[in-house]
Amino acid sequence: MKKVFFLMLATISMIFVACEEEQISVVGISLDQTTLSLEIGETETLMATITPNDATNKDVRWHSSNSAVASVNNNGLVTALSAGTATITVTTNDGARRATCLVTVTARVTGVSLPTTLVLDLYETETLTATFTPVYATNTEVTWESSDTSVVTVIDGVITTVSVGTATVTVTTNDGGHTAVCNITVNQPKQITMTTARSGLVTIFAAGSGTFTIDWGDGSAVETHTLRSTNSSFWQIHNRTENFRYSHYYSDASPRTITVTSKNLTHFVCVGNEITSLDVSEAPVLIELICNNNQLTSLDVSANTALRNLNCSSNQLTSLDVSANTELRLLNCSFNQLTNLDVSANTALTFLNCSFNELTNLNVSGATALVELLCQRNQLTSLDVSNNTALTNLHFLFNQLTSLDVSANTALINLNLSFNQLTSLDVSKNTRLRTLSVFSNRFTALELNALFETLPSSTQTKSLSIGWNEGTNSSDHSIATAKGWTVYTTGYPI
């Protein structure tokens, strides 16, 4: 029995030794594809080959570096889920040998779109952007084409207008040949026109944004410029620098029409060019117009609702309607032939100069922000400034006033009412008053004394001009001087 037992034990040991000798390890692994391109929704099975072929343990694990792009199951089945790249890795359980495949998932273009219509002004440019379906499409290469290059040209989606008219722009995808069309209309741009027969140099100043052109009206080439913007006002001459200046020389005095085209012209100056007509009705964003020292007989600014500063002085205007210009801050319409002026709608107006006209009526009742009013040499017999409580400077010389109530104008600093027909004036409420002139009115001595009594007292020297009145020399000046006022009885110092 013992011999049998030992014989069996020896046989089992030999079997175990034989088994250990038959265990074959994995030394490598490879995939049938190292790169793989799929479209979304497609699948592909990767085949793994283990080396040696008779390795004992051929079990493997699969992994995707970006399962949102491409997933892989336990059998190596790769599924494309979204555009992008992912690395698929297979790893042996025996020895952790690895092989990889780079998977690229693409999304085919199924459609493309453009804005269906586009309206541009001549000389404008615009960039069209193609929208792809799906939005994550991989190949977004396209070609562009214009149906009429004499109207618009297109390069890489950039539209350039060439002439007034209509044209279509077509975009075609390289992937799939899908197309989209935009119908483009090119209009004559917004423009300012003015007529002059001046010979020699004509100069304008302009500011804004975008492109603008000048046709000088004499057959010379149309000029194209890029407008510069400004935060300053051309009201002050020193701000009219070379950056904004455009000039042209005419050899004769033939009548011609100058045309300035721009969609975004904000400031325009055409001073002293002998202009007989000016049309700004197509300049809706204009905020400053300075056209003084010309020969204009009319001016329509009803379309310029953004206008803030207007200087149309020294022309031949017989009327001026600014009721639509509710943003107006500064208005100089002096040295014209106006008989009526209504600024009651101009609630933002701070400065008004309407001197040297023929005004018989002036309405400033709504101009509650008015700080300075210059209105000398007109024919006004009355003036209501009761609503103009911000007024600091009032110059109303050479009119026909017989009375004036300034009791509401407590901010007044300078008041000049010379050359009127006043016989009384109460300035007791005007405690900030520094200078007062009633030169050449109709005050008697008693009436001047009554005015002196209303003068506000101050430790600061103030100026009072009373010359050329009936009571100039016989009135009691000491009443005024006792309150700190210097009284002038001759000359015209204020």
Residue length of the chain? 494
Neighbouring C-beta atoms of residue 204, cutoff 10 Å: 20
Sign (positive or negative) of CA dihedral 241, 243, 248, 253: negative
CA atoms within 13 A on the CB side of 374: 13
What pLDDT, on the 0 to 100 scale, is given for residue 8? 52
pLDDT the model gives residue 490: 87
Distance between CA atoms of 184 and 166, rounded to whole angstroms?
A: 6
Res 21: pLDDT: 54
pLDDT of residue 1: 46
Query: For residue 4, what pLDDT is reported?
Result: 45
Q: What pLDDT is attached to residue 458? A: 85
CA–CA dist 198, 275 (Å, integer): 8
Q: Which DSSP symbol is given to 234?
A: T
* Amino acid (1-letter code) at residue 298: S
**pLDDT at res. 19:** 44
- Output the furthest CA–CA distance in the chain (Å, rounded): 167
Query: Three-state DSSP class for 31?
Result: strand
Write out pLDDT tens, residues 357-391: 999 999 999 999 999 999 999 999 999 999 999 99
250 beta partners: 200
Q: Residues in the chain with pLDDT < 50?
A: 1, 4-5, 12, 14-19
Task: Give me the pLDDT at residue 491, please.
Answer: 66
Measured in degrees and rounded to the nearest 5, phi and psi for residue 446 equal -65, -40
| Rounded Cα–Cα distance for residues 110 and 41 (Å) | 14
Please report which helix (H) or strand (E) contains residue 80, including its range. Answer: strand 77-80
Long-range CB contacts (< 8 A, 24+ apart) of 229-237? 229/266, 230/266, 230/267, 233/267, 233/288, 233/309, 234/205, 234/207, 234/267, 234/269, 234/288, 234/290, 234/309, 235/288, 235/290, 235/309, 235/311, 235/330
CA dist., res. 266 & res. 336, Å (int): 25
Distance from C-alpha of 294 to C-alpha of 291, rounded to nearest angstrom: 7
Query: Which tokens hold the place of 253?
Result: 């005095």
CA 80 vs CA 74, 90, 99, 245, 352: distances in Å? 16, 17, 19, 63, 74
Displacement of CA 242 from its chain's centroid (Å): 22
Report whether 395 contacts 416 (CB < 8 A): yes
Strands 70-72 vs 77-80: parallel, antiparallel or unpaired: antiparallel
Which 3 state secondary structure label does DSSP give 127? Answer: strand
* Whole-number Å distance between alpha carbons of 16 and 13: 5
Amino acid in position 487 = V
The Cα 21–Cα 217 span in angstroms is: 106
pLDDT digits (tens, 9 = 90+) for 88-140: 999 999 889 999 999 999 889 999 999 999 999 887 789 999 999 998 888 99
- Tally of CA atoms within 13 A in the half-sphere of 362 that contains its CB: 28
Q: What pLDDT, on a 0 to 100 scale, did the predictor assign at position 210?
A: 87
Q: Which two tokens stand for residue 297?
A: 């007989």
